[in-house]
Chain A
Amino acid sequence: MGETHSLEDRFQAFVEAENKVEPKHWMPDGYRKTLVRQISQHAHSEVVGMLPEANWISRAPSLRAKLILLAKVQDEAGHGLYLYSAAETLGTSRDQMIDDLLSGKAKYSSIFNYPTLTWADMGAIGWLVDGAAIANQVMLCRTSYGPYSRAMVRICKEESFHQRQGYEIMMTLAKGTKEQKAMAQDALNRWWWPSIMMFGPSDDNSPNSAQSMKWRIKRKSNDELRQEFIDKTVAQAEFIGLTLPDPDLKWNAETGHYDFGEIDWTEFFEVIAGNGPCNAERLAARQKAHDEGAWVRDAATAYAVKQAARKPNPSTQTHAA
């Protein structure tokens, strides 16, 4: 060995060799903090993300559509749980994370602060919002933190139906009456820009990105992911005869990518800062669910305590079946 390496250097070499960091491994404080922030934000996004779609469960146009939407929203609850568990392995607690969400201290994806005005929004969300989330999550399957990466693998398996069911809704509407097609186009017009903002600020405006890439938490930059997403989506929109609401969108043969118009980052930062159309409504809904569920949590605890007191400790060990 001979040379002395600092713990940081050894950690850096470890992640650069594509090793996974596990909860008990030594890690730099900054790495831990970045992950706690990122994973808990991600978990909050899954949980708050249920609200815009839950808005349409009772008004789904068919039983089939209702079952699908219910299953998707239930998946998002599961995703939140996998992610909270992953964050907890870093030493934060579930209570702390929930408190931070409800107090407004923690952030979640700005996209969920937009309203869902028509049924077509269920299509646009599945196609674009889940689509953008998938692009990010596929990259995160290769993140350096083991529990986060494993949660992502599970989530990605479940996500693929989310985007497909959304696209199917859009396709059906686009093939329908003039009014139905107009409804689909209107949803696309409203969700397109917020969706491509989901990848976060452009690289030169994203100060923490470089460190995250260095630690192998992120594997691709915001702009790279955004470009890939746009490149994929153009043909999907064309196929169903809808128009992406960006007059500057055009194929660039030189770069092999689509050029696109200027993103309104003022809007993005305004929504992040809490001034989006639904920020207050979303947090109020979370708070209400939390408060109204309190008696259930209390009852379950009381029952567990009672049962434990009643049950004699098992003295004989048997093999689990």
Chain B
Amino acid sequence: MSQASHQWPLWEVFVRSKNGLAHKHSGSLHAPDAEMALKNARDVYTRRSEGVSIWVVPSSSITASSPDEKDPLFAPSDDKVYRHPTFYDIPDEVGHM
């Protein structure tokens, strides 16, 4: 039994620092279940009022892009400058747009 307890799953902790902001990754921790993960996350990551809301997600549920795919995944957006507002020349007289 005590062998099994060593293998608590890993959880990723996301904290919303203020109302209106998105949850942001804070770190990770081990816990036997979601409820304990939340309680531990409160103690580990919000000891100084860093948050108003916490998400815990089993690390095993996260699919991450691999650094080797960085170029094929993200490079295509690099040459699409026309997606940015500064690409367009609008005369100052038009005012803020």
Contacts and interface: CB of A to CB of B under 8 A. Distances in A.
Contacts of B66: 24
A94 interface: yes
Q: Say whether chain B's binding surface is mostly helix, strand, loop, or mixed.
A: mixed
Contacts of B4: 301
A298 B47 contact: no
A82 B27 contact: yes
Interface string B54-74: 010000000010110000000
Interface residues of A, number: 29
Interface stretch (A103-111, A196-204, A303-311): A303-311
A74 B47 contact: yes
B69 to A, nearest CB: 10
B29 A85 contact: yes
A191 B30 CA distance: 35
B18 to A, nearest CB: 15
Contact of B33 (A298, A303, A320, A321): A303
Given A75-B47, A85-B28, A308 B5 contact: no
Contacts of B64: 24
B90 interface: no
A297 B27 contact: no
B30 A94 contact: yes
A81 B6 CA distance: 15
A22 interface: yes
A28 B36 CA distance: 36
Interface string B14-32: 0000000000000111101
Contacts of B8: 297, 301
Contacts of A308: 33
Given A24-B66, A297-B2, A320 B47 contact: no
Contacts of A298: 1-2, 5
A21 to B, nearest CB: 10
A95 B6 contact: yes
A102 B38 CA distance: 28
B27 to A, nearest CB: 6
Nearest to B32: A304
Contacts of A71: 47
A78 interface: yes
Interface in A287-321: 294, 297-298, 300-304, 307-308, 320-321
A304 B47 contact: no
Contacts of A81: 29, 44
A25 B64 CA distance: 12
A22 B48 CA distance: 27
A158 interface: yes
A151 B47 CA distance: 15
Contacts of B43: 74, 78
A78 B44 contact: yes
A96 B53 CA distance: 32
A143 to B, nearest CB: 16
A85 B27 contact: yes
B33 A304 contact: yes
Of B33, B35, B47, the most chain A CB neighbours within 10 A belong to B33
6 closest A-B pairs by beta carbon, nearest first, are A304-B32, A304-B33, A297-B5, A301-B5, A300-B32, A95-B6
17 contacts: A25-B67, A78-B43, A81-B44, A85-B28, A88-B10, A150-B27, A297-B2, A300-B32, A301-B4, A301-B5, A301-B32, A303-B32, A303-B33, A304-B32, A304-B36, A308-B33, A320-B55
Given A74-B43, A75-B47, 6 more contacts: A95-B6, A298-B1, A300-B5, A301-B4, A301-B5, A303-B32
